[in-house]
């Protein structure tokens, strides 16, 4: 890029400059991971394994970009570490009375998917000889685990969870300031 363009970009701070800075940061992270990956050889294994790594970039409720990682490659102390299970790409959508969790789980049968819900989290796991997925999703509000309804079609899992009713006692008591 020319010096003129850089100077112009520095003077004009807009919404787009924040996004461009975030993309530059992502690019730097990816370059560092690739550099480390080629410095240290992966451990030899008897069976070939696939390596999956990616980023999901969305705009959060505050208008700032939210970057999430997915896959089975994680940064480790001595370079990239390959986990046996993949972390699926997951979106959490909060609605007025419910929370919807959408996860991409390609290549598995619905009978192989195990779901476990608590008031605060949803755990998704698949353990088959061909595919292994694991993700623990922290939910943005308390839910009723018994209300969960799940569907799975074309590699996409959709779980709908009803928000828990908060009674007046659970909201707490007002405190008088002296």
**Which CATH number belongs to the domain containing residue 104 in this structure?**
2.60.40.790
> pTM of whole model > 0.85?
no
Is position 173 within any domain?
A: no
pLDDT digits (tens, 9 = 90+) for 123-155: 999 999 888 899 999 898 899 988 889 999 999
Phi and psi at 10, nearest 5°, equal -65, -35
| Over residues 146-165, mean pLDDT | 91
Cα(3)–Cα(9) distance, integer angstroms: 10
Residue 165, CA distances (Å) to 8, 50, 58, 122 in order: 52, 44, 29, 18
User: Is 79 found in the same domain as 10?
Assistant: yes
178 within a domain of the structure (yes/no):
no
Which structural domain range is residue 158 located in? 88-168
């Amino acid at each position: 890029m020319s010096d003129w363009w850089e100077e112009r970009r520095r003077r004009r701070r807009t919404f787009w400059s924040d996004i461009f800075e975030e993309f530059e940061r992502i690019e730097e992270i990816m370059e560092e991971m690739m550099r480390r990956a080629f410095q240290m050889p992966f451990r030899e294994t008897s069976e070939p394994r696939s390596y999956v790594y990616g980023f999901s970039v969305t705009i959060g409720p505050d208008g700032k970009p939210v970057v999430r990682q997915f896959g089975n490659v994680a940064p480790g102390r001595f370079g990239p570490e390959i986990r046996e299970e993949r972390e699926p790409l997951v979106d959490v959508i909060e609605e007025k009375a419910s929370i919807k969790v959408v996860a991409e789980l390609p290549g598995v049968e619905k009978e192989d998917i195990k779901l476990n819900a608590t008031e605060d989290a949803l755990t998704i796991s698949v353990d088959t000889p061909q595919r292994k997925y694991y993700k623990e999703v922290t939910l943005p509000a308390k839910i009723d685990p018994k209300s969960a309804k799940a569907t799975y079609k074309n590699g996409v899992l959709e779980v709908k969870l009803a928000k828990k009713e908060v009674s007046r006692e659970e909201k707490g008591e007002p405190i008088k300031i002296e």
